[in-house]
Amino acid sequence: MERPAWAPRSIDITVPSVARIYDYYLGGSHNFEVDREAARRAMEFVPGLPKIMQANRAFLRRAVRYAAGEGITQFLDIGSGIPTFGGVHEVARAARPGARVVYVDHDPVAVEHSQALLADDEDTDVLAADLRKPREILDSAQVRGLIDPNRPVALLLVAILHFVEDADDPYGAVAELRDALAPGSLLVLSHAAYEGIPLPPERAEGAVDVYKDIRNPLIMRTRDEIARFFEGYDMVEPGVVPLASWRPETAPEDEDPYAFGALAGVGRTA
């Protein structure tokens, strides 16, 4: 397999990556045949996966606009993935010029591309780190350099927590991040769930098995389990709801049924 010029030398291009599979679903070009093959296998079970990912990006943009409208000018995006058009810094700055963003991911392709794209942008930075080690994120030079801990932050955990197994204590990681945030901060979160996917769970489970096969287990949690991540937050209306139902800008009945195929919500620290 030929290595494209944009691929970091350090990565094994024979092993699929969830960030690059996501990029493929969104129509991006930073993925390999091994990623596309895994994506197509998952789509055999859940053909609407690209639509779910697009709805997830649309939720992210609406939530960032909401945060900016609430006066927030600092964004910490953990599990940010490979940069696509309409990134957090672009959406935030359309409402709040000068908004600052730190992108965090542990995928080398995501990190390297974000760094290349944002090299000349003084109000953004990129950090290679893992959500499971929140202290490393909070103590990093990138976060300390751009994020004022005494002012509200929008913490974005969008389509990331379903890749953290219970054994790795995702609730503890989210609580540690929450405790570091100033009052008035927001948690923006989306998460895979069987609820809302317009297929029987047994069918959707086939796609979950594909992720298990590529050693990136996809943890489907219930609405109550997802709501638990918001402990210590006041929920912003309408609470934890399907992606396309969170403050929609178009009529929900006009949406593809798969746009409701994951759950999302926003909470505010007191």
User: Binning pLDDT at 50, 70 and 90, where does residue 1 land?
Assistant: low
Residue 264 pLDDT greater than 80, yes or no: yes
Phi, psi of 37 (to 5 degrees): -65, -45
Helix then strand then coil, in percent of the chain rounded to 5, is: 45, 15, 40
Ramachandran bin of 103, using left for φ above 0, alpha for ψ from -120 to 50, beta for the remaining angles: beta
Q: 35, 1 in Cβ contact below 8 A?
A: no
pLDDT score for 263: 98
pLDDT in tens, 101-148: 999 999 888 998 899 889 999 999 999 999 999 999 999 999 999 999
Q: What percent of the chain has pLDDT over 70?
A: 100
List the CATH code of the domain at 18-269: 3.40.50.150
Task: Please report where in the chains the tokens 């943009």 appear, as a residue.
Answer: 61
Return the higher-pLDDT residue of 163 and 113.
Answer: 163
Best CA proximity match to 225, nearest among 153, 176, 161, 151: 161
Q: Tokens at residue 168, please?
A: 């790795």
pLDDT in tens, 54-87: 999 999 999 999 999 999 999 999 999 988 878 9
Phi, psi of 54 (to 5 degrees): -65, -40
- Average pLDDT, integer, range 136-161: 98
Domain ranges of the chain: 18-269
pLDDT score for 117: 86
pLDDT in tens, 178-233: 999 999 999 999 999 999 999 999 999 999 999 999 988 999 999 999 999 999 99
